[in-house]
Amino acid sequence: MFATAHNQRFYTVEVTDKQNTILFLLKHMTVKEISATVKLDNILPCELSNKRLHIRKMINLFYGKNYDQVTIDFIISTIRDQQELEQELVCDMNINEIVDKYRDSITIDDATDINLINLLPFTTTCIQCKRVLKTEKDKNVTLMCLGTIKTCTIFKSNCNVCKIDYYPTYFENKIMKYKYLSATAIKNNHYLYFGGQSAFHHDLLVTFSSDLIFSHVPFNSFCESYDYIIETINRHNSNQYIPTTYQQQKLDPKLFQNTWLVFEMARFYFMMCDNEFFQIPASYEGPERDNFLRQYNEKFYSLFTGTKNLTEKSANMTMCVTFQSLS
Ligand SMILES: [Zn+2]
């Protein structure tokens, strides 16, 4: 041990290679900052352009530092190269605060590019020509969840040869003007996106199904109830104060009705057959919607009556879907 002129003590100790790397990393950043940097790198998709730049700006804004890009890249690449370091250095921390502060920043232009929820296409390989496709950001949309409204980022892949766009829940043939919902996405995804400016949490759609079957709640009442819940929770969370300029986003009954119908029809279709895709019109409103429902009504009814292995609950559900489809 020896002391410097500033009375800071230095020690000479024997360390392993791993400990040496950790000490080297700690010369650049604190453990908290390293942890947050690596977690942000894990959560944000590589398909997001300028991902590392956003991470640098988020860390600097949140911790009041001025790290350069080289330091951020060095920390991430060192931990990526030595995976066991992640267990030593990355703490179980909630990074929502970091992202929220960044998104609220008025001094950073592209801060709203960042969302904690990023919905990637259900495939990165064209199902027709089998080419591996490049994925890129499409847009930010409103995400309707139970008790809360968030934003999320939609990514898409495009096959120029087959003229097909791939999204998180479906693909769209740009020439034929049809969408094809993916069975895997409908069955597994927590968030469902059928196009437009809104995505929906699976639990919200299922909650309506339950309310419809057991409480006979119509769409308008469900949407009014949802808006009331969101407003009350927001008021409670903001200590009773809601700025006069605040405009709460509402759950549009028509949009919700169309989304829910597509969701339940797809669930019904995939429950009844082994097909991987379910075709719906590219534009699901007005006469196109009615024509589609008319066309599928008979098909659904024959699927329904021709199946013996339905549970009572799913039979109720499918009857509801069939009757709603007729209305
Ligand atoms: Zn293709």
Ligand 1 center to 269 CA (angstroms): 26
Q: How far, in Å, from the CA of 122 to the mean position of ligand 1?
A: 15
Structure confidence by residue, pLDDT tens digits, 13-40: 898 888 888 888 999 999 999 999 999 9
The DSSP line for 194-236 is -STTEEEEHHHHHHHHHHHHHH---HHHHHHHHHHHHHHHHHH
Q: Output the CA 135–ligand 1 centroid distance in Å.
A: 14
Interatomic CA distance for residues 249 and 242, integer angstroms:
14
Distance, CA 199 to ligand 1 centroid (Å)?
26
Q: Look at residue 3 in the predicted model and tell me its pLDDT.
A: 52
**pLDDT recorded at residue 6:** 64
Give the 3-state secondary structure of residue 132. Answer: strand
- Judge whether residue 120 has pLDDT over 50: yes
The per-residue pLDDT for 10 is 84
| Ligand 1 geometric centre to CA of 158 (Å) | 8
- Distance from the alpha carbon of residue 295 to the mean position of ligand 1, in angstroms: 29
pLDDT tops 90 at residue 203: yes
Which of 62-76, 261-275, 309-323 is predicted with the least confidence, judged by mean pLDDT? 309-323
Q: Give the rounded percent of residues in the chain with a pLDDT score beyond 90.
A: 56
**pTM for this one?**
0.83
* DSSP structural state of residue 251: -
Q: What is the pLDDT of residues 279-289, one digit of tens each?
A: 888 777 777 77
Q: Which of 137-151, 164-178, 232-246, 253-267 has the lowest mean pLDDT?
A: 232-246
On the question of pLDDT at 50 being above 60, the answer is: yes
Q: Is the pLDDT of residue 149 over 50?
A: yes
Residue with the bigger pLDDT between 258 and 298: it is 258
Which comes out higher in pLDDT, residue 133 or 287? 133
pLDDT for 326 equals: 43
Write phi, then psi, for 150 (nearest 5 degrees).
-125, -175
Mean pLDDT of 98-115: 89
Rounded distance from Cα 138 to ligand 1 centre (Å): 19
The alpha carbon of 133 and the centre of ligand 1 are apart by a number of angstroms equal to 8
Integer Rg of the chain from CA: 25
pLDDT interval class at 296 (50, 70, 90): confident
Average pLDDT, the chain: 86
Q: What is the mean pLDDT of residues 310-319?
A: 49
Arithmetic mean of pLDDT, 125-141: 95
Question: How much distance in Å is there from the Cα of 134 to the middle of ligand 1?
Answer: 12
Looking at per-residue confidence, does 157 or 5 come out higher? 157
131 Cα to the center of ligand 1, angstroms:
6
Q: Which residues contact 127 (CB under 8 A, 6 or more apart)?
A: 164, 171
Share of the chain above pLDDT 70, in %: 88
Distance 177 CA to ligand 1 centre (A): 16
